[in-house]
Amino acid sequence: MRNPDPGTGSRNTYGNARHLDLPIGTSEFTLESVQMSDFGKAPILVTGASGGIGGTTVRHLVKAGAEVIASGQNADKLDKLAAETGCRALPFDVTSEDSVREALDGLDLWGLVNCAGFGGEIATPMDTDIEVFDKVIGINTRGALLVTKYASRAMVRLGQGGAIVNVSSQAGLVALKGHISYGSSKAALDNITRVSALELGQYGIRVNGVHPTVVMTPMSAWYWGKPEIEGPFLSQMPLGRWASEDEIAAPIVFLLSEGASMITGVALPIDGGYTAC
């Protein structure tokens, strides 16, 4: 069975506010910057932007004043997103190093959201399709590393620091039945997040991960909407409901912002408390 991804009109609150007194050597930020930050240094690339979480993240970033480059493989959806938000569409294939290199060569970037993903299958270790496993790893893990490789080079070249957010999953933090491929790909992505934070910190580049629970969509409902799946799962979650795409995008924007300027290497669950219990 194919695996539905298990995790993966607002007012702009910018304004001039009193600046906080900060120690020498720290960056200035306004009181509003914990919610919205000035993303004017260089563009932010969002992969997987033709999907739900990726597209919503683009919308949130544009509302926050960011210049956004939206990537994905569905050119029609990217064009519609560009027409709606004013972002720049840049389709490329995250599984091809040549495609990633060509797309990002000479591109100025300050930020990156690795949101491209593939759910794969619902299977146990006994009956998994290894070709599906390879595809899941190729997109969710290898693809994120390829984009990070070339995007981080651009950030280092510009010398302005930067921020990267990898969209992982609750399936990378705890064992979920049927998620041998997807959970493995996200757990590996989490290690990429940690090592990248360690290696890139010297350049002022922060790297963090978010770990969403299920966003209920028509694509995910066929599995997660089954009463025998949904009921027991939500009964173990303190908040007892699925997430919305906006609830995933907002923390991503925060981690990119100056409000998170001392946060790197973290794994942030956005899962209603599921992995805490």
CA 99 – CA 149 distance, rounded (Å): 13
Residue with tokens 């720049």: 88
Which amino acid makes up residue 243?
A
| Torsions phi, psi for 127 (to 5 deg) | -125, 15
Indicate the helix (H) or strand (E) that contains 42.
Answer: none
Strand partners, 215: 243
The Cα 68–Cα 95 span in angstroms is 21
Task: Give Cβ neighbours of residue 245 (< 8 Å, ≥ 6 apart).
Answer: 52, 53, 55, 56, 215
Which one from 150, 182, 223, 274 is the annotated catalytic residue? 182
- Catalytic residue check, 150: no
Catalytic positions, please?
Answer: 182
